[in-house]
Structure 1
Amino acid sequence: MNVFSIADRPVIRLAADGRTLNPVSRVELERRWAAVRGAMADAGVDALVVQGANGISGGGYFRWLSGQPSGNYNPRTLVFPADGLMTLVDQGPFDAVLEFDGDDPSNPGVGRRCMVPSYPSVAYTADYDAAIVVREIRRHGYRRIGILAAASAYYPFGAYLREQMGAALVDMTPAVDAIKAIKSEEEIALIQDAAAMQDRIVAEVAAAIRPGMRDFEVMAHAQHAGQLLGSEQGMFFGSSAAPGQAAGLRPRFQQGRELREGDMFTLLVENAGPGGMFAHIARPIVLGRVGNDVRDAFDAVLEAQRATLALLRPGAPCADVFAAYNAFMRGRGWPEERRLHCHGQGYDLVERPLIRQDESLCIEAGMNIAVHPAIGSASMFMTVCENYLIRPDGPPSCLHGTPQRIIER
């Protein structure tokens, strides 16, 4: 089950250091920095602090500002000033400090990197990173500090920062969310690369899947293909089921079932493409003949997706889109959506805007929205998912090329 030969591998983009894969351009970073500094000036903020410890959820803020992946387990923290070079705090020897001029290919915009060997699993090191951040804030004389994506930081970090800085802290997350939700041309190109990668993953899985495989082997094949195509990380949910049973979106530890002839398999690929931008795609795969109940369920989710797309127009409040979608569902006699119906994506798997009742943002051109309606019962689970780019006028543009149909094997 070899996925690719060496000749099939994708074109690799490297930074000037010859090691850093698929770097974002300095022009793009400067665009982001300028936009954020404009928001900081409006709020009277001297510096932002953002910590990333999860590259799938929350760490995207760190990466969006720094151009570097966040930590996965060990935190990485950025102090982003209103003027001047950034300070990076991450894993390394006690008291280690490296100085940069802002042009190091691996540390763009960074002037200082401070290190400490702290670990979330070792409670007595909980304040180590935060103490360095507070030291650097005071060393530079920053007075009003913006917190960015507090939910992505470890609790002791935020608690220590609050204890030391108190009223000097202000939440800058909403202001930055409104900026980064609208993608630049370079970001859109990265998202298109992710979608194209996922189209190829679906094709590879469709060619490889067969009775006798276990669910996790199918998903491992998908993950292997993605890694060879330049993916950095992601999530792979799905499972198989016999006719009359629901093939739901199960995680890895529940993917032990063996596939049999006649089964349906639900495949959901949620990985980042080369350069770290997320998209995701879902398709049903049937090993044998497709029953009428499966066709009817697939037609239903396609209808629900098209109803959603008709509502995704620039200026539309997300809460209104969600209300209109549920009115559509009630009109068809289908259950209302209680999950996250659809949402933005970027360096995080889920980012604003969220299409649901508690979202304050409106739909705007340049947003990357994942649309994934689903219906489910004990006897059937069905979903379809692609990413769509919001256009200034006209319907959203689908970024995936995989045909919208049940895959028959």
Structure 2
Amino acid sequence: MRRWQIRTIFALIILCLILSLFYVNSNKTLKIGVITGSNWDVPSPDALKIVDNAIERFEKEHVNVQVEYISGIRKEDYSEWLSQQALSGDVCDVFMVLSNDLATFADVGILENLSSFIENDPDFDESVYFFSSYQSGQVNHVQYALPYESVPTLMYVNRTLLESEGIEVPKQDWTWEDFYEICARMTQDTNEDGILDQFGQFGYTWQNAIFSNGAKIFNDEGSNALLENDRVYDAIEFMRRLEKLNRGQSVTSEMFDKGQVVFCPMSFSEYRAYKPYPWSVKKYSSFEWDCIPMPAGPDGSNVSQLDTLLIGMSKNSKYKDLAWEFLKELSFNEETQKDIFRYSQGVSVLNTITDTKMIIDSLQDETPGGSDYDLGFFNSMMENAIPVKEFNGYEQAMALIDGEIKLLSINEDDIEAAIGRVEDQVDALLESVK
């Protein structure tokens, strides 16, 4: 065979190899798992527009990559769907993670440890996140997911009811005593039939009281309860005082909806969903209402619990570098995080977004003619919020504690002795599930 023929054949082989490599690299498909609708159980018909916009930006920057997701998976079905994907060995490259699934998915090896990606990416800066939102993606101090959107719990106030009694809406730094005093004044039998029909609060829990008094329920590792201390005892005693105001009557959410209750803790997503017209007509049309921080205990502050929807990477992804870039597109990119305010009912996880003029103007536009949003306390509240973090044995442990503290709030048993017993039971339970 002549030399030029050999060279031609060799060149064709090289060309074929180059073309095959180009073909492989130009047809990468990144699969993502997302929830349809709202993670916060409120009307949010445009929530997927956030993801669609992020995909459009990402595909423009990565011309050889296609991002796909399956639509129609509701929150209540999502955990089961993702578990089935894992069992079949077909987990998405990137997927949303509910806060109560994080520890389980990390433990069984579905989620990739993100530490090396964080450490080796000079463009990534964890300081731009609210600390509590970012911490929500950690298990035993290891980052397994990035935050996507967060929702704090705030105290909702029936302004109309307070004004009818000549009482001002509490300031942002209000305390347990302010809370109790207003509840005591507002708990009344307004029609004088011998039955209370107006109440101070519905839904304020012992967890709210414990966190706002500077206490914790568990240690950071989830291996022990931390209930045997004065801050917890004081919180339970405060719950007793509140409970006695109702004289044994049961207060319901329907009573708040009808305007018979002054205070009710709710998620900020409910405020955003039901404040604007027309949803306000369907939910709370008979009174004016607003949100303020939770009341502070004598040894604590005006802190709230924070629930965060997370984004994780499959440990078995074939495209981990691309998956990391798309994680950042959803979590770290400011345009995506601004879209959280535009199309969802949550809160951006970036501390650079929440107090911008664009966001405040956007929120004001949601409530034409209504009361103004006062976000002056928001960044501080988000930074210091208590993240919802579950672990092996969490639900069983919480059920034990919840049952005991609910009984303590309505009886006269010795608080310290009862809490000592339940802490021993919880510690034994947590030891058994290690």
- Which category describes the TM-score, using the shorter chain as reference length? under 0.3
Higher helix residue share: 2
Higher strand residue share: 1
The TM-score with structure 2 as length reference comes to 0.25
Which of the pair has more CA radius of gyration?
2
The TM-score with structure 1 as length reference comes to 0.26
